Amino acid sequence: MIETGKAGLSARNRNILVQDLNVNPEWLETGRGAMFNAEPDLTTYHHRTDNSLPMQSVPLYSIEGTAGLVPLFADQAQAKPVNYIHIPNLPKCDGAIYIVGDSMYPLLKSGDIVLYKQLCNIEDIFWGDMYLLSIDIDGEEYVTVKYIQKSDRSGFVKLVSQNPHHADKDVAIDRIRAIALVKASIRMNSIRRNSGYRASWSGYLNLVGTNGFAWSSAPDSASSGQGSYLYFDKSGVDPESHYNRARGFPVRCVQE
């Protein structure tokens, strides 16, 4: 029995507690700190005609894993999600992705998740709303989130950022290869997800903003002289990793 300490917690059950139930991994390992991480911030962008669903499971995709937004939209049924977001009272969404960049800051920041509804025809856009776009730039795909407004130039649309340091840009409509209406955004409020680590051989900080690490109080039973730790990235949690304790897990950056 787990409750009496006669049986350990399996890796599968650890993942369920951390990923699905938002349990704080430090509390799970040591009993210290709050039982649950802070709840993620959910922001929705409704239209008057939207009908919310009581509950839906939205597939979360990796743009890197699908080789871009265009292949994902072209054959989403065959794309393999990295996870699912179970969320209530939201209009129908086709999928979700992590975003990169600060053009929509502070409304959106790098690492946030946007949930989208794919559009088949750019003529169906609502001027002034927020969209997820794939734009062709010299044969390369550029994926971004922008407000779309009318342009003074025929055959163009104006892409507008939230961040005042990013200038508006007119883009030819025929360069837009894929487009989706942003229905909601999620911001995770857990510092452990992206704390990174201090390298033992150099002292430099690595993977800050993308990966999280946390030492366990117990040594690793499968390796001599190494410690166990929990590892986080955008695809999930590995609670049974091990490495030399000379590495600095976790790292909190403080600017003086």
Q: What is the pLDDT of residues 83-126, one digit of tens each?
A: 888 878 888 999 999 888 889 998 998 888 899 999 988 888 89
- Max Cα separation, the chain? 72
- 219-227 long-range contacts (CB < 8 A, ≥24 apart) are none
Query: What would the pLDDT profile of 148-206 be if each residue is shown by its tens digit?
Result: 999 999 999 999 999 999 999 999 999 999 999 999 998 765 444 455 655 555 555 55
Whole-number average pLDDT of the chain: 75
Query: What would the pLDDT profile of 152-167 be if each residue is shown by its tens digit?
Result: 999 999 999 999 999 9
Token pair recorded at residue 221 = 């039973």
Q: Please report the pLDDT score of residue 152 as a whole number.
A: 95
Give the pairing of strands 176-187 and 41-44: antiparallel
Helix (H) or strand (E) holding 85: strand 83-87
Check: CB of residue 94 under 8 Å from CB of residue 81. no
Q: Please report the pLDDT score of residue 192 as a whole number.
A: 44
